[in-house]
């Protein structure tokens, strides 16, 4: 047998693909989605629609489609978010491989079999990406693109499992159904982040696609979801950035205490002692709390932590100066410098001094 397993899927009638599509007010889009999927798949599939009692009658449309197409409908009583809808769909899925996608045709149906094939070929996860060659976004103004790229950068910064992905925000991916069934959503929308952290896929494929404008209706994503996203990142990162910031603040208190205790000592000496005391107490607290159980040898970690802090201080200084030269007011420039220093500090601590 020399056949390529990835093309086998197209002809292998025994592999069922479960397409899981959460819906909220997508009655107008479902018929076109089913058409598109029928054209795209030459192997068997089932479309599982998980609808949250949409007022526009999406569930009725889905039931009507189910008379002539492999569609199954799950209705939940109230709107409870895309992520939990996807997990609910996976629990009802009969296929070994699940493809998660949206109903509004922003995720092109013709890409869905490509994602499934990657998993069939042995990848643990296949993610549709807008940010690789061949992918893209149609009709987005620059500011939306910037927000999206910023959100992706934040995810990569805070979630180690998201680091290898060009589009960790993607809502279009294929994975083994049994993994998806076990996922506990930590947010409303970004189920892929939960899959990355909770299923720990090792082999990940990326498949470029063009995110098209919505076929009909409007996006359900609002400001509330941005806040939910940040909360989700915090939960998934074990609240580490906040703990790190709290430890940093405690370090200021330690330094002030040392200055007070060394009342008679010349300032250039007591300030140095205060700085060293705060770096060491920050290290001890971060080791015991923020990054508990990580970091290897305490002495080497302590030395590395000094280097990380020095680099953070340098980043603070350079960014503040660069912004000031660029015309930013000195207070804002310094504040943004502090932020840059904090980020540099955190990244170096997380990836280096407290490497797991």
Residue 55 or 263 with smaller CB distance to ligand GDD:
55
User: 26-37: buried (b, 16+ CB within 10 Å) or exposed (e) per residue?
Assistant: bbebbeebbebb
236: tokens are: 């998934």
Radius of gyration of the chain (CA): 25
Q: Min. distance of Cβ 147 from ligand GDD in angstroms?
A: 11
Angle between helices 191-199 and 82-92 (to 10 degrees): 60
Report whether 61 contacts 27 (CB < 8 A): yes
Q: In what order do the strands lie in the sheet with 173-176?
A: 71-75, 45-51, 17-23, 97-100, 173-176, 125-129, 204-208
CA angle, residues 151, 154, 159, in degrees to nearest 5: 125
188: tokens are: 């409303």
Instruction: Label the pairing between strands 173-176 and 97-100.
Output: antiparallel
Residue 104 or 161 with smaller CB distance to Mn ion:
104
Q: Which does 82 bind (CB under 5 to 8 A by kind): Mn ion, ligand GDD, none?
A: ligand GDD
Residue 50 or 62 with smaller CB distance to ligand GDD:
50
| Distance (Å) of CA 17 to CA 92, 204, 266 | 13, 18, 73
Classify residue 339 by burial, with Cβ atoms within 10 Å: 0-12, 13-18, 19+. Answer: middle
Q: Min. distance of Cβ 170 from ligand GDD in angstroms?
A: 5
Q: By the criterion CB under 6 A, which residues form the site for ligand GDD?
A: 22-24, 26, 50-52, 79-82, 85, 102-104, 106, 169-172, 189-190, 211, 219-221
Q: Which does 48 bind (CB under 5 to 8 A by kind): Mn ion, ligand GDD, none?
A: none
Residue 104 or 350 with smaller CB distance to Mn ion:
104
Three-class secondary structure of residue 14 per DSSP: coil
Q: Which does 187 bind (CB under 5 to 8 A by kind): ligand GDD, Mn ion, none?
A: none
Q: Min. distance of Cβ 105 from Mn ion in angstroms?
A: 9
Residue 52 or 104 with smaller CB distance to Mn ion:
104
Q: Which does 262 bind (CB under 5 to 8 A by kind): ligand GDD, Mn ion, none?
A: none
Q: Which does 171 bind (CB under 5 to 8 A by kind): ligand GDD, Mn ion, none?
A: ligand GDD
Q: By the criterion CB under 5 A, which residues form the site for Mn ion?
A: 102, 104, 106
Q: Min. distance of Cβ 26 from ligand GDD in angstroms?
A: 5
Return the closest-CA partner of residue 194 out of 225, 222, 171.
171
Residue 22 or 251 with smaller CB distance to ligand GDD:
22
Residue nearest to ligand GDD (CB): 171
Q: Min. distance of Cβ 217 from Mn ion in angstroms?
A: 9
Q: Min. distance of Cβ 94 from ligand GDD in angstroms?
A: 20
Count of CB atoms situated within 10 Å of the CB of 180: 26
Q: Min. distance of Cβ 111 from Mn ion in angstroms?
A: 15
Residue 152 or 349 with smaller CB distance to ligand GDD:
152
Q: Which does 161 bind (CB under 5 to 8 A by kind): ligand GDD, Mn ion, none?
A: none
Q: Min. distance of Cβ 219 from Mn ion in angstroms?
A: 5
Q: Which does 350 bind (CB under 5 to 8 A by kind): ligand GDD, Mn ion, none?
A: none
Classify residue 245 by burial, with Cβ atoms within 10 Å: 0-12, 13-18, 19+. Answer: middle
Residue 71 or 333 with smaller CB distance to ligand GDD:
71
């Amino acid at each position: 047998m020399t056949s390529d397993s990835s093309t086998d899927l197209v002809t292998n009638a025994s592999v069922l693909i479960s397409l899981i599509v959460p819906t909220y007010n997508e009655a107008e889009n479902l018929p076109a989605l089913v058409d598109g999927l029928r054209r795209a798949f030459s192997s068997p599939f089932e479309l599982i629609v998980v609808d949250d009692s949409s007022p526009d009658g999406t569930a009725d449309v889905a039931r009507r489609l189910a008379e002539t197409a492999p569609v199954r409908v799950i209705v939940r009583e109230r709107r409870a978010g895309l992520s939990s809808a996807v997990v609910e769909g996976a629990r009802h899925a009969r296929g070994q491989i699940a493809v998660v996608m949206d109903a509004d045709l922003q995720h092109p149906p013709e890409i869905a079999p490509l994602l499934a094939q990657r998993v069939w070929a042995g990848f643990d996860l296949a993610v549709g990406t807008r940010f690789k060659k061949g992918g893209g976004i149609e009709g987005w103004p620059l500011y939306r693109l910037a927000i999206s790229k910023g959100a992706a950068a934040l995810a990569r910064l805070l979630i180690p499992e998201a680091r290898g992905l060009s589009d960790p925000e993607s809502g279009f991916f294929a994975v083994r159904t049994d993994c998806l069934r076990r996922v506990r959503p930590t947010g409303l929308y970004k189920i892929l982040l939960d899959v990355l952290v909770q299923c720990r896929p090792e082999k990940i494929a990326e498949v470029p696609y063009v995110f098209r404008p919505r076929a009909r209706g409007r996006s359900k994503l609002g400001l509330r979801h941005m806040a939910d996203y940040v909360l989700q990142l915090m939960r998934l990162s074990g609240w580490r950035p906040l703990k790190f910031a709290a430890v940093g603040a405690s370090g200021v208190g330690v330094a002030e205490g040392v200055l007070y205790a060394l009342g008679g000592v010349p300032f250039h000496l007591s300030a140095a002692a205060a700085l060293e005391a705060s770096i060491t107490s920050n290290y001890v607290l971060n080791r015991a709390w923020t990054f508990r159980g990580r970091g290897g040898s305490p002495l080497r970690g302590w030395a590395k932590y000094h280097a990380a802090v020095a680099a953070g201080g340098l980043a603070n200084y350079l960014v503040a100066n660069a912004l000031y030269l660029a015309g930013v007011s000195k207070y804002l420039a310094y504040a943004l410098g502090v932020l840059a220093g904090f980020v540099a500090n955190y990244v170096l601590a997380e990836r280096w001094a407290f490497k797991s």
